[in-house]
Structure 1
Amino acid sequence: MKLHKKLMIVYLVTILLPIVGLTNYFLNQMSDLIIRYVSDSYQKILVQSNNGIYYNIRFYESILDNLTVSESVQNVLSEPDVYREKGVIIMNREISRAVRFIQAYQATDVESIEFFSTSPDVMSDGVYLFPEDRLRRVLGLNEIPDSKFWILEQYDGKYYYALVRPIYSIGEFKKIGYIKLTIQIPSVTYVQETMGNKADASGSLIIADSKGTIMFNPDTDQLGKPLPQEIVEQTSKDRSSESELNLQIQGTDYVMWYRKLQNVDWTMYLLVPKASIQSKVNEIRQTILTVSIICMIIFSFLTLLITRQLTRGIRRLHAKVSRVGRGVLSTSRRVHVKGDEIDELDRNFDNMLDNLRDLIHQNYVEKLERREMELNFLQAQINPHFLYNTLDAIKNEIDMDEKQTAIGMVVALADLFRISVSKGSNTIRFEQEIDHAKCYLKILEIRFGARHTIEWQIDPQIPSLYTLKIILQPLLENAIQHGLKGMAGGNVTVIGELTEQAVIVTVRDNGVGMTKAQAETLLSDHSPSKGIGLYNVNSRIRMYFGSEYGLSIKSEPGNGTEVVLTLPVLEGVEHV
């Protein structure tokens, strides 16, 4: 896959996907915010409508309150016999005086004011005063409540509100009749016009009494009919005086807010289809999505141009790397000027090629040096003086007819050189390395006798591990020939410890010791007169395994010498 395509994919994953996620989150939050805002708006409309209708109802109730205590009305209803004698005209005049303060019914939308006497002998004037039976017939009631109430009336195919309340005599406080105001519906619910301007046109305001009879509906055909059963069931479960509910009516989902009117057994219901609310949300969502898509297209196009510009320099560098991959290390250098990171990379690549050529040359030189050191090492293994003395000792033993002793020396010498050669391999098991050192010690013991004690303390896990060959014998040779020189009854201890990081072999003697300066010289100068093989051993270990491994010497004059050999843990030849 081309690099600029990868960059585009990375851009889509790291930039566009978070943008899409954030946009979706923002849309959800915005949707919730809009829904809450719409809900609050409708609730405010419902409260305003509720307050407006409440004030209208209180206005008409105050008219009834004033008329019930009017002196003329009290006289007509309390003394029906007196006014029967006075005549209908006088009675009509008395009642007219009572309702005089209502100068124009048109201003208050009061269709009529009627009084109903509980006296069976009342004389009706056909305008204001009627018997109580007429009220029962008009309202269709068998019993008239003894408290104020509102009811829906219908005359000539048109609906009106009727406000009825009993009238009690002021002196005896007994019921003497009823008063009924017939009011045009819009005069009570005129706030619907204001609500219609604010709310969604698809919303509906319904008013119903405690029996579920619809007292108001924009659709006049619904007046007087019962509320939909869905509304009754939902509100019956909710005992609060106001609430917001979700319901379904005839397959359409609605959000309904309802609130009970004060001092009257009416409840206002505001129903708005969910689709109407969701349409507002969808409109804003569509706008945001459109803007987001346009922005993402523009960003993607700009990213494509930028990635192609970036990869132009990378393609040029790729061609140069391909030539190097084919073995052509000499590349043409451009005149490097200060540029972007790609130019910096190109310049560094050229410098890297120079360094690579230098490293190749240096590695070749180091191989030559290592080969030369190995040759020196092999030469150091065969100390001509040691070999000459050993062979001379064997000759002497043969001359003295000590054949068994001579045979032992020959076998030990053969084993010594067999392990030294080890089929040309530089690595052997620790077990073989220990045997090699013991062969060397056996030859010394045969030649000079057991003048010193050699003690071995090797961790049982160490013999199965691998190491460079011929590293213990030089340490023992140095300890015996230099540390214990001129001493009888000397002691050399070889301690092998295994840790998680290294194999640590310590060769400790109780000889004459040396100064710190002399100890440092042993590892910096490989002159045979100052410790045969120590410098060679230390150099070989560091060359193979790194500077963290090798030899360290601790010594004090008169307190012996301790040479510590640190090696890596090698479980096989392939780990070398």
Structure 2
Amino acid sequence: MAVVPLLIFGVISYQVSNSAINSKISNSSLQVLKLVQKNIQYESDKYQKISDSLMVNKTVQDGLYRFDSWDYMQKNNFIVQMNSIISGHMSNSPQIMQIFLTDRDNNPVYSQGWFYVSQETINRMIDLCGKNINWLSVNEGNKNYIIYTHPVISERGTGVIGHTLIFIDAAAFYNCLSGVDMGTGADLMIMDSYGNNVANQNSSFRKGYSVDSVLFSYCRQNPNENIIRNYKFNDRLGMIAYSFSNRQGWLLVAAIPDAYLRAETYSIAVTSLVSIILCFLCAVIVYRQMWKSISLPINRLVQVVGKIDNTNFDQMTFYDDSRDELGFLSRAFRQILQKMQDLVNQVETEQNQKREYELKMLQAQINPHFLFNTLNSLRWTALMSRATSVSNGLAALSDLLRNTILDKNEFITVEEELKNVSNYIVIQKIRYGDIFTVTYEIDENILHSYMIKFLLQPIVENSIIHGIDEEGTQKEIHISMSRGEDTILTVISDNGKGFDVEKTLDAKKNKRLTGIGMQNVQERIRLCFGKEYLFHIESRIGEGTTVTMEFPYISTLPETPKNLTQGKEREKDDSGTVR
């Protein structure tokens, strides 16, 4: 029983560690290649910027366009000006060996540098430039160099008027590879678009010549694979990591030998084998002691634990009075179960209290919210009106205050709730006049059923405040209430200007009381009846808003604490007792 799991564990550990190490080396190699590629790109950008600056230079443009028509003095003046321009670039970039300018017929117009370049090489590079190959590694005259070719486009719109050829010492790109450690025995190299060696860390490959045509062809055909495993490169088996540079068309290759890859996994294999043998010997010794002192008591404890109900921890009857660890464990386990049972009872009590407190807080929240908006409307009335409108508003306000502050019932009839809405609309009419109208579509069979107080008013308020626009266009609010099988479906819609639902209902982003009122309605329905009842807001800016909500049909007054108290107080009033 001990040997088989240990052997399986050892084999799996070796496989996982070997895979993890290879994966880690592969990922790190690709990361290194990306960094090296950035260095190469930075180096090549310097020469591309020089070529771009020469292409847009007025002296170069005029010289290539008019060189054939100039006399000796004009050509000599052109060369003097170019010497000044090119000397500055070459002094800033010492790796530049030669800079050529040719006309549209590939004839040399200007050259500055310190070594000879054949016309055949120039013609070849210009021909490759037409094939979108601007970079090439060349070995000529026992000197390896890189040629960057760029066509010069006329600013006059006549097309290509010549070419710029920049000859760069290959050592410039070798510096991008120096100091990069890919592992013991690893090699890092750059191949151009023909598979020729541009620069590499291993001096066994001659620069300017093909390194491995098979490898180059495979990498070209599979540009996104990036990793080749078990590849024999330079007579050594190993892993190949490669990456393409789309701008130059170059291939960056890292060859990591298999000996380096397996060095760490071999050490892990030996360590795992020794650990398995030691663990097996220890397991044999420990097993004999466990059977006598641990296994049997634990089995009895497991049987008792298996009989315990998920929420009833009082069924624990097992007790071990021994003084060893298992005895201590059993006593501690019994205490934990008792504590868990106490916590379950406490949580249930706290949840019931929390629900009651949340309902109280939500009810308390809606009152100041409503009073604030009502008093604000009356303030506007006091500024604009002098008599009748104020009287009507105060009458409606008095009725509403009686229902919100004096009447402590959480539930009222649908008829009373509609009356509250009507009073609120009277107050809002004082402020807005006839700019909006309200229509009702109410099922008469639900008028005497009960619902949570002040569910409709915040939604109507939201329709008025958010629905009326600055232009004063008359808007319509429609209130529909109908009975389903066991529910009452309420739809309040308007054709106002609409609003952003998420932004308005986010209490942290929107501090306006209308957002609080809408959330209050939804939360009160959830706390009283649960999440299964519908509450949905749909609004489109410029088209209007529709609020759809659903709550259960209640034919008798629910027995909430507030309603029971209010009912007893009413019974005392009927009997003549003074409260």
Bigger Cα Rg: 1
Specify the TM-score bucket, using the shorter chain as the normaliser: 0.3 to 0.5
TM score, norm. by length of structure 2 = 0.44
Normalising by structure 1, report the TM-score: 0.44
